[in-house]
Amino acid sequence: MRTPLLFILLIISTTVLAQSRSIIELHTGWKFKKGNFENAYQIDFNDTGWQNVTVPHDWAIYGPFDKEIDKQTVAITQNGETSATEKTGRTGSLPFIGNAWYRNTFEIPEHTENKKTLLLFEGAMSEPQVYLNGVKIGEWAYGYAYFYFDISKHLKPGKNTLAVKLSNESFSSRWYPGAGLYRKVSLITKNAQSIDQWGTFITTPLVTEKEAKVNIKTAVTGSDLKMVTSIYDKTGKRIASDSTSTLYNSKFEQNIKVNNPNLWSPENPYLYTSVSRLYVGNKLTDEVKTTFGIRSISYSSENGFQLNGKTRKFKGVCLHHDLGPLGTAVNKAALRRQMTILKDLGCDAIRSAHNMPSFEQLELADEMGFLFLAESFDEWKKPKVENGYNRFFDDYAEKDITNLVRATRNHPSIVMWSAGNEVPDQYGSEGVKRAKWLQDIFHREDPTRPVTVGMDQVKATMESGFGAILDIPGLNYRVHLYEEAYDKFPQGFILGSETASTVSSRGIYKFPVKKASMKEYPDLQSSSYDLEYCSWSNLPEDDFILQDDKPWVIGEFVWTGFDYLGEPTPYDTSWPARSSYFGMIDLAGIPKDRYYLYRSRWNTEKETLHILPHWNWEGREGEKTPVFVYTNYDRAELFVNGKSQGIQIKNDSTPQTRYRLMWNEVIYEPGTLKVIAYTQDGSVAAEKKVETAGKPYAIQLEADRKTITADGNDLSFVTVSVVDKVGNICPTATNRLNFKVTGNGEFKAVANGDPTSLEAFHKPTMKLFSGKLVVLVQSDITSGDIRLKVSGTSLKSAVLKLKSTPINY
């Protein structure tokens, strides 16, 4: 009889939940207009003719690219520059500067004095001023911050008019920040006696393989309250519960035992669900579900970083928040694709650089298994750019950190907070005081995780004590100072909070092949031989050696996983360079060669055997054309048209030969380039070949997913290549292609990964770059078939059939 009774009780609770709390995402119904509109906050303002948009929305990503946008004449001190020069692509050359308004009309269920409604913004770029029914209800400053307002007293029966003014100043960013309501906006309606917004805090202070203590603190508003909390496993089975009526300073605290816990890790991202039910007397008044993981973290001089009692090193990347051709408008399908590519890389950690991460990114990190370094600021009190966060620091820093931590602290993926990145405040006693003040706020809100800062002025932080007071000393580059920092800082370990900044353009190779700093070429590309870097940075191997040889180096976060809009170093002063060259993966999401160099170290589960360059070098016949191989095997033999070029074995003679196999004397001749990898006993382990391709003949399509959800947001990313008559990819093809989507979907965007391209992402035509590009196909709200046709002059066109399926609630 007990099982049917439990089933009935769950049904009753679910029914009551629908009456106690509702969350409405304001996704549709928005009107948008860029410009100054003095009365746009008023209810009866005439917004006829304004653009209909959905939120999340980035108004600037549609372009056009223009070198005059946010042109900055500055010396970038972080890069070691001492003289000001004109920078044209620093913020992506997209029109994000200016004011804009969003308006929406919504209705909510009957609102009484016993109800409370919150208006939640997950990100608004930037300086939002928020109006409801003609009355200003609040404002915020930081475009990356999460914030909410209690709008209960401003609501009225029937329709309510919401208006949001956003203002982006010039000289306010060092990269493309995006523009608009680029993350979700939601209405949360609940009873007045309820669980506070972000009021649940779940930690796991005791974790063993046999048992775990789950500590749950819940902040509430009301009286005569009782809290009943149940924990469910991944299958939905209730495995533990607890009830309490004891309040401490308006908080309930519960300790719940979980037997034989399934521990969360990147290899086993197991998630539990806590359901907190709040009662007034015996009546359910609120219910909140929280996903969490059971895991332990520790940092020490003896063991470095430990997850669940096991030492490991971060194999991490830094990510800016833009999604390439989508701009900054958050999209979960795009994030999932990014993180799927990173998983294949062997990456297990992400740093949100240099801003607060989206909720969607953290949800995926929990679900897919990524350790997360959640960052807050790129600027404190001292400015990097004239109109940066320095203007808001005094009034908003504490509020922004508090919201960051409270909103995200239940994510098991987050194992570290960052209070800042390369802040000019690293110098002097005032900077030390600010660092401690910020770190103390993090500790107050979350005593379970440490705090770091990405430091580039390492000498200064040694002298001032700045680095010594941090929980985790994070070094941005400065590989030559690691030993000294380890000796002088008291923590006993060093984190590579930002590493490498090697630059390359996918599929572009330059001769002669040699190491170079800040190397520039007439075509504004960087060589994919992966030997070029920046004035302040280094090659990947310099970090590999520290990670492999120094147990006190606890991992690295490579700059960057993906290319991003803005900061086109080393071409900061050159037009039309408008996006970065730092990524292992280009702006379209196509891996560069460097991806495989890292994969050969990081992905220990799968084979890596990658040859570069391509083998289409008409005009280089008879010339030296070095060949590199990135592999997790330690030896291989190279063949050109069947003729052996010898066996190379990884060795310690140089940093490069320790991690790459290189044949520097290969003479180019068209045909077949083949590599055979061997085990140490001489057995053949794997082989790979590259053919000289003929003329472009046909188009080839490959989707990351052929079935997507009919929710109007889901995306399929289709990689488009041009091949010759026998199917070899043409690596130098630059043909212009055209795209047409029919059926239950639409063309969303396209990108080719070229950091110098000025073609609009949202137009259904683009040239190939190094033989490839990526088309984004978006579902509509009706399930059914979707058809993508790609065509080009003198090429055999291709058609790909996709399917959208109903939303699975």
Residues with a catalytic annotation lie at 422, 498
- Give the Cα separation of 558 and 540 in Å (integer): 9
- Give the Cα separation of 188 and 203 in Å (integer): 25
Amino acid symbol at 421:
N
The dihedral built from the CA positions of residue 577, 579, 580 and 585, taken in this order, carries a sign that is negative
The dihedral built from the CA positions of residue 92, 93, 95 and 98, taken in this order, carries a sign that is positive
- Give the Cα separation of 189 and 168 in Å (integer): 31
Distinct helix (H) and strand (E) counts, the chain: 11, 48
Q: What is the strand order of the sheet 194-207 is part of?
A: 194-207, 211-221, 251-259
Q: Are residues 560 and 319 in contact, defined by beta-carbon separation less than 8 angstroms?
A: yes
Strand, helix or coil at 492?
coil
Q: What is the residue whose two structure tokens read 């200064």?
A: 460
Name the CA radius of gyration of the chain, rounded: 27
Which element (helix H / strand E) includes 128? Answer: none
- Give the Cα separation of 47 and 25 in Å (integer): 22
- Give the Cα separation of 762 and 742 in Å (integer): 16
| Strand 225-232 with 211-221, pairing | unpaired
Exposure string for 712-727, b = 16+ CB within 10 A, e = fewer = bbbbbbbbbbbbbeee
Using left for φ > 0, alpha for ψ between -120 and 50, and beta otherwise, residue 490 falls in alpha
Using left for φ > 0, alpha for ψ between -120 and 50, and beta otherwise, residue 361 falls in alpha
Q: Are residues 178 and 125 in contact, defined by beta-carbon separation less than 8 angstroms?
A: yes
Tell me the two tokens of residue 601.
């170290």
Q: Are residues 746 and 777 in contact, defined by beta-carbon separation less than 8 angstroms?
A: yes
Q: Would you tell me how many other CB atoms lie within 10 Å of the CB of residue 153?
A: 12
Q: Which of 482, 402, 385 is nearest to 441 (CA)?
A: 402
Q: Are residues 304 and 313 in contact, defined by beta-carbon separation less than 8 angstroms?
A: yes
- Give the Cα separation of 562 and 319 in Å (integer): 7
Q: Would you tell me how many other CB atoms lie within 10 Å of the CB of residue 585?
A: 23
Q: Are residues 55 and 176 in contact, defined by beta-carbon separation less than 8 angstroms?
A: no
Angle at 324 between CA 389 and CA 544, to 5 degrees: 80
- Give the Cα separation of 501 and 506 in Å (integer): 15
- 596 φ, ψ (degrees, to nearest 5): -80, -25
Q: Are residues 55 and 184 in contact, defined by beta-carbon separation less than 8 angstroms?
A: yes
Q: E strands along 538-657, which residues?
A: 553-559, 609-612, 627-631, 635-640, 643-649
- Give the Cα separation of 368 and 343 in Å (integer): 8
Q: Are residues 179 and 63 in contact, defined by beta-carbon separation less than 8 angstroms?
A: no
Tell me the two tokens of residue 225.
């309250």
- Which residues lie closer than 8 Å to 528 by C-beta, 6 or more apart? 504, 505, 506, 507, 508, 509, 592, 593, 594, 612, 613
- Which residues lie closer than 8 Å to 694 by C-beta, 6 or more apart? 724, 725, 726, 728, 730
β-bridge mates for residue 494, sequence order: 553
User: What angle do the packed helices 593-602 and 332-345 form, to 10 degrees?
Assistant: 60
